[in-house]
Amino acid sequence: MSELPLARRDQIAGRLSAGQAVIAAALATEFSVSEDAIRRDLRALAAEGRCRRVYGGALPMAGGVIPMAARIGQDRERKLALARTAARSIARGEFLFLDSGSTNLALVERLPDDFDLTIATNGIDIAAAVLHRQDLRLIVIGGSVHAAVGGCVDTDALIQVQRFNIDRCFIGACAVSAQGGISAVDPTDAAFKRTLLSLSRISVAMVTNEKLETRAPHRIASAKSISQITVEHDAPAARLALLRRAGATIATAAPPE
């Protein structure tokens, strides 16, 4: 019995995000659908910036990282649902760090009003969004901008962030799994995230379904070392069970509005 098209597409996207090449004929057999259906999936994923089409299948984006500009418009309502749940734990007067990423960008809209919050970020788009919130104080981490990451993760950025005592860090993750933990595709980005975690009292990762039980080359931290992993309302139960057995603390978001 074939899977629903969106569920199938999410599974294919997860493999591409983990750096795997995919072959249309093999996917058609696995999912019991026609190669034309798989090619439609791959065309849609390529249009979203998630893969590069090649003859017979698709490859991950160069370097394994989907450019930030391509990620901003993807799955907006799903990311807002994650952000709505994650924002509920924020306390008045906290010093927050929003790591560069499209889901953390969605969080800016969900931050509570007039909570005396200070926001530090290395993300260019996040900084611009925070600037439009008159009730938030903004600190921008500078340096050379990594276009795929969408922010600064170089040595200058690392030096600047080490001056902070962070109450709550929202960490970006390229992949999350029970065995591989939280991981990233880019080694410089991973090093920056590890430093962020070491400086943060509380850490939160908001994770869309396609990232669950996938792996990226550079490990950031174990799943149990993150204070809270926020997942979607329909996250696969089997994958969540693996994470919980690995010691992860899971919060499940409500469905998108």
Helix axes 124-131, 102-110, angle to 10 degrees: 10
Question: Given this model, what pLDDT does residue 236 score?
Answer: 92
pLDDT band at 71 (very low <50, low <70, confident <90, very high): low
Q: Which domains, ranges and CATH numbers included, belong to the chain?
A: 5-63 (1.10.10.10), 70-252 (3.40.50.1360)
Question: CB–CB of 85/208 below 8 Å?
Answer: no
**Dist. CA 4–CA 175, nearest whole Å:** 23
- Tell me the per-residue pLDDT of 22-42, one tens digit each, with 9 for 90 and over: 888 889 999 999 999 999 999
Helix (H, G, I), strand (E, B) or coil at 30: helix
Q: Which of 189, 226, 186, 190 is nearest to 205 (CA)?
A: 226
**Dist. CA 1–CA 5, nearest whole Å:** 12
- What's the distance, Cα to Cα, between the start and end of the chain in Å? 30
Q: Which of 195, 185, 183 is nearest to 220 (CA)?
A: 183
Query: Is pLDDT above 80 for 63?
Result: no
Helix axes 35-47, 5-17, angle to 10 degrees: 60
Beta bridge partners of residue 174, listed in sequence order = none
pTM score, whole prediction? 0.76
- Tell me the per-residue pLDDT of 187-242, one tens digit each, with 9 for 90 and over: 899 999 999 999 999 999 999 998 898 888 889 999 999 999 999 999 999 999 99
**Dist. CA 124–CA 102, nearest whole Å:** 11
